[in-house]
Structure 1
């Protein structure tokens, strides 16, 4: 019987749906305290996942999902930076 490799799933903090890990963007709280998009998915720090959809970021902001995930408040400047970077990721795909 052939072995079936499990595909890691993660939940989007915006829409609360489960997706393959590779299809999501990882937002990471680095040990230095900055919040950034993680291109590789392997950076050190606490991570939260978002769909490649600007609406999910808006929902996450409205429900303060990233603030709960990182257990700290997030400034509006960080959300604006995430929106700009998310726009470049969506355009690439």
Structure 2
């Protein structure tokens, strides 16, 4: 049986290439709204961040997403991202991938 190709994405914070399922997509819509995209299919400019709490905190510290998405990102959104990534990491450890 032919093995399927695993889609890879690059983390905008760490620069690592990982499979798409171990990343979270952040999207900026045409209206300028920034949100977390769990499905990975929302329209707009996207950036991928690893599901690692340290990486999300580093993105907050360096304001990486503001530079990548070319829009000012609030501290509240960064905190929401850190909380979401922490939750997803805990789910992965409990239930596996």
Deviation at 1:40, TM superposition (A): 0.7
- Structure 2 residue runs without a partner (length 5+): 93-97
Structure 1, gaps ≥5 residues long = none
State which drifts further: 83-92 or 41-50: 83-92
Q: TM-score, normalised by structure 2?
A: 0.80
Higher mean alpha-carbon deviation, 59-68 vs 10-19, is at 59-68
Question: Paired residue for 1:85?
Answer: 84
- Match of 1:66, SS state, is helix
Alpha-carbon offset, residue 91 of structure 1 = 1.7
Worse-superposed segment, 55-64 or 11-20: 55-64
Match of 1:12 in 2: 11
Which deviates further from its counterpart, 6-15 or 48-57? 6-15
Deviation, structure 1 residue 31? 2.8
1:63 is matched with 62
User: Whole-Å Cα distance in 2 between the matches of residues 52 and 90 of structure 1?
Assistant: 6
Report the Cα distance in structure 2 between the residues aligned to 1:61 and 1:77, rounded to whole angstroms: 10
Distance across 2 between alignment mates of 1:41 and 1:30: 13
Superposition RMSD in Å: 1.8
Aligned length, in residue pairs: 92
- 1:57-82: CA deviations, max 9, x gaps? 12222332211111011111111111
Shift of 1:3: 6.7
